[in-house]
Structure 1
Amino acid sequence: MRSWNRRDVLALAGALSLPALTGCLGAGGNGVTPGLLVSNLSRDTDPTVSADDLRAQVRANTAFALDLHQSQVDADDTGNLFLSPISVSLAMAMVWAGARGETETQIAETLHYLGDQSDLHTTFNRLDLALEPPEDAEDDAFRLDLVNALWGQESYPFSDDYLDTLAVNYGAGLRTLDFATAPENARETINEWVAEQTEDRIEDLLAEGTIDDGTRLVATNAVYFKAKWAHTFSAGTTTDGAFTAIDGSEADVPLMRQTAPFPYADVDGTQVVELPYVGEDVSMVVVLPPEGEFASFERSLDADGLHGLFDALELSSGTVVLPRFTFGSKVGLNQTLADLGMPDAFDHNRADFSGMVEDGTQQDLAITDVAHQGFVAVDEEGTEAAAATGVVGGVTSMPLEEFEFVADRPFLFAIRHRETDSVLFLGRIVDAATAQ
């Protein structure tokens, strides 16, 4: 994918690596200069996708986002959480391009991919292009970068068809490294690329030992977003106030406050407010369930429900009180994705990624690691966030005229692209005191 160089308040990076699967070229800090395998085909910058098909895949992406979110909550329901589901979806899509048979089916069902291989990649290409900021976006007020890269074992027989799919739909060539004899140098090169794409917010996406001499491919997806609020909060109005955590404990945290017109809705007692960023193409939607009902609401929320909240928003005048927060999340997704429905991809005896190699043979490829890392900072000026996904594989309601929205108890938040309704980031704050 190409880099979007226009917006400034959030950072995301994703990396996917398969010890036989998968950039920006140039030597890294360790002096390693990747080679490059490229298709003869260029990026399709005007893919044909109907509005209905795009809307359906966006809704499906949201379903996966909530599956992913809930799986992490099930593992730990007491902590704050911040993920970028779109990063996971994109990184896995580049791997799915080489999956076949039952592996292909399981990944598609788990990630909620619609259509066949051709349809899905074309739709993701259209979505990526739709997310691109307008030409007149101001770099100092809003920046949104989205970049894909694939890293492969040099001299490995990657299929021309696979390289064509990556080039046409993701704008990605395949950078070659020597995983077989210098895996640690290769890992450092990929991590340096990710750090560069995310303004150093994600510095060690792939942990030591993630890459070994069996690695054949690493697929990386990086997103960086940084933006100012369209209506900034005045620092002078921020005061300490009590936040009641999900366990019932109270702690004083900095609470930002402002009164202004905002898109707002009250749906069966659940308050929703939208805080647009400069340019108003992207916003943060904050969802505050009724007191005492956060856990049950979060558990029952599905894609239709979340998009229904988006649709219910209407401009109203009111007061918003929101805590400042800064925190990060780091999770391993191997077991999560297997439990959600794609176990074969992690099993060397059953995984089928034969679509990646020239002769179409199995090559004993399987995903060995999927890691995701996120960071978010929200203050009076705006939002900064970073996230990264790494996949490693290898051989063996009615609007109110006035409202008061006080987020002094657990809430959900989503950063979404307003035109497409794509959820770029999804998080929960259940203990604001630990997010300071």
Structure 2
Amino acid sequence: MKRLLISGIGILVLALILAGLAVCGTAPLNTTSVSGESVADDSVAAGNNRFAVDLYRHLAAEPAHAGDNLFFSPYSITSALAITCEGARGTTADEIRSVLHLPENKTLRRAGFAWLDAGLNRGSANYTLRTANALWAEETYSFLPDYTGIAERWYGANVTNFDFINDPEGSRETINRWVEEQTEDKIRDLLPADSIDDLTRLVITNAIYFKGTWVKQFDPAETTEEAFRIAQDETVQVQMMHRTDEDAIYGYTETGTLQVLRMPYAHGNGTELSMLVLLPKEDNLTAAEEVLDVGTLTGIRDSLTDRRVRVVFPKFTLETEYSLPQALAAMGMPTAFTDAANFSGMDGTDMLFISDVVHKAFVDVNEEGTEAAAATAVIIAGGGAVGPETAPVFRADHPFIFLITEKDSGAILFMGRVVNPEGT
């Protein structure tokens, strides 16, 4: 029998972000080479985007998050759980793949993640963007070389052995320091006290970090304190940035209920990233949430045209944290958290299960640009446990949804909503 561990571990999430990544070399953007074959990565990026929308809808519908800001990195969560899925079998694997919308074809799945990770980490002089994976294993526990080899080859996740049994707190602190280093100290204490214990067998982590400047930066001298409507009869005073000059050229479109703005980041020869903002014309955020469908978002993105826009946009900083077992179980993968879990692909036994999935995220948006970071940990336990020609005005002075996107693939890296810029 297995004992299910329930930890109150939060996950700090980073914003709604669409991002897709290119790789070095001459291969086409939508393919990567595997054993001499050209393999499309689209299903991994598309699956990541579908999971992003599903998770956003689930978190937004939870009473505990009513009226709250949301921010997370779907790519971070998907990456950590994809590595976990490599060791799952049977119903456990089927459920994880279904929730994450992962390809069943293992070559396509692995090559897709390798391609995306290579693009994230290829570097640019104009921005910082990187992601990293790691495995942290109990030193006395035997994991199958096939599993650890797959994690290292396809996901870049090397194994570090720890004494979880006799030194759980020391192990936890070391993992947290790794996360802090990978995220420039923006994600601290991903694993809280007592989240590692003598039943912990493996911790799978992902960290992602981005810092970029706007192509069209805002002048701090133009930033003023103004009202932001958080409800029909309630406002808060926030710092609003202004870009209304003749050079304020942005990708823009609108529908009967929505304004959409794309604000690009400087990229040089690197991956093209931008923030996509969905602003309701009225104060009802539902107008933006109704278009959170992968096909609809793609259509909206394709309809953007460059034009002058008078932009008024709030400065904001969000820090979020979530513990995801209940959400993920409700979304369709309950077995992984129970004694019926099958992670025999990790160790050859049926004794392992997921005790927690924790995520933390951070985003800061200002006149210069954006800094965002997120990290995810999957804790595996085992052992006996249970318009017109005039320039439109884009005044984001009421709740909106935002994404950070990559021009070509459109894979979602970060995603969120701003209900109150003065909140956390």
- Asked if TM exceeds 0.5, the reply is yes
Shift of 1:434: 2.4
Shift of 1:131: 3.0
The within-5 A match list for 1:19-34 is: none
Partner of 1:352: 342
| Secondary structure in 1 matching 2:154 | helix
The within-5 A match list for 1:2-41 is: none
Partner of 2:17: none
> Residues of 1 paired with 2:389 and 2:303: CA distance?
11
The within-5 A match list for 1:110-129 is: 110-129=99-118
Judge conservation of contact 2:258–2:287 (CA < 8 Å) in 1: no
Residues 297-321 of structure 1: CA distance to partner in whole angstroms, max 9, x if unpaired?
4155211122222211121111111
| Secondary structure in 2 matching 1:305 | helix
The within-5 A match list for 1:20-169 is: 46-47=33-34, 53-75=40-62, 76-134=65-123, 137-138=124-125, 141-169=126-154
Q: How large is the Cα RMSD of the aligned pairs?
A: 2.1
User: What stretches of structure 2 of length at least 5 have no aligned partner?
Assistant: 1-11, 15-31
Partner of 2:404: 415
> Residues of 1 paired with 2:37 and 2:121: CA distance?
16
| Secondary structure in 1 matching 2:267 | coil
Matched-pair identity in %: 40
Q: Which moved more, 1:222-231 or 1:96-105?
A: 222-231
Partner of 1:29: none
Judge conservation of contact 1:316–1:401 (CA < 8 Å) in 2: no
Query: 1:192 aligned to 162, 169, 177, which one?
Result: 177
Partner of 2:7: none
> Residues of 2 paired with 1:58 and 1:401: CA distance?
37
Shift of 1:402: 2.8
Shift of 1:290: 2.5
Query: 2:421 aligned to 407, 432, 435, which one?
Result: 432
Judge conservation of contact 1:316–1:399 (CA < 8 Å) in 2: no
Amino acid in structure 2 at the alignment position of 1:65: A
1:375 paired to 2:362: yes
> Residues of 2 paired with 1:429 and 1:50: CA distance?
40
> Residues of 2 paired with 1:122 and 1:99: CA distance?
18
For residues 312 and 372 of structure 1, do their structure 2 counterparts lie closer, same or farther at Cα, with a shift above 3 Å needed? same
> Residues of 2 paired with 1:316 and 1:133: CA distance?
31
> Residues of 2 paired with 1:99 and 1:146: CA distance?
23
Q: Which moved more, 1:218-227 or 1:54-63?
A: 54-63
Partner of 1:41: none
> Residues of 1 paired with 2:148 and 2:249: CA distance?
49
| Secondary structure in 2 matching 1:176 | strand
Amino acid in structure 2 at the alignment position of 1:177: F
Query: 1:261 aligned to 246, 249, 263, which one?
Result: 249
| Secondary structure in 1 matching 2:68 | coil
| Secondary structure in 2 matching 1:433 | coil
Partner of 2:166: 181
> Residues of 1 paired with 2:205 and 2:60: CA distance?
25
Partner of 1:227: 212
1:390 paired to 2:388: no
Judge conservation of contact 1:102–1:344 (CA < 8 Å) in 2: yes
| Secondary structure in 2 matching 1:61 | helix
Partner of 1:308: 299
Residues 308-362 of structure 1: CA distance to partner in whole angstroms, max 9, x if unpaired?
22211121111111001012111110100000000000002x00000011xx221
Judge conservation of contact 2:114–2:154 (CA < 8 Å) in 1: yes
Partner of 1:330: 321
| Secondary structure in 2 matching 1:240 | strand
Shift of 1:12: 8.3
For residues 59 and 316 of structure 1, do their structure 2 counterparts lie closer, same or farther at Cα, with a shift above 3 Å needed? same
Judge conservation of contact 1:265–1:399 (CA < 8 Å) in 2: no
> Residues of 1 paired with 2:260 and 2:388: CA distance?
10
Amino acid in structure 1 at the alignment position of 2:92: T
Partner of 1:208: 193
Residues 121-149 of structure 1: CA distance to partner in whole angstroms, max 9, x if unpaired?
22111122233345xx21xx410111111
For residues 237 and 408 of structure 1, do their structure 2 counterparts lie closer, same or farther at Cα, with a shift above 3 Å needed? same
> Residues of 1 paired with 2:94 and 2:232: CA distance?
40
Shift of 1:296: 4.9
For residues 102 and 114 of structure 1, do their structure 2 counterparts lie closer, same or farther at Cα, with a shift above 3 Å needed? same
Shift of 1:401: 6.8
For residues 218 and 271 of structure 1, do their structure 2 counterparts lie closer, same or farther at Cα, with a shift above 3 Å needed? same
> Residues of 1 paired with 2:361 and 2:73: CA distance?
7
Amino acid in structure 2 at the alignment position of 1:311: D
Q: Which moved more, 1:80-89 or 1:223-232?
A: 223-232
Amino acid in structure 1 at the alignment position of 2:220: A
> Residues of 1 paired with 2:237 and 2:169: CA distance?
45
Judge conservation of contact 1:215–1:394 (CA < 8 Å) in 2: yes
For residues 365 and 379 of structure 1, do their structure 2 counterparts lie closer, same or farther at Cα, with a shift above 3 Å needed? same
> Residues of 2 paired with 1:369 and 1:401: CA distance?
52
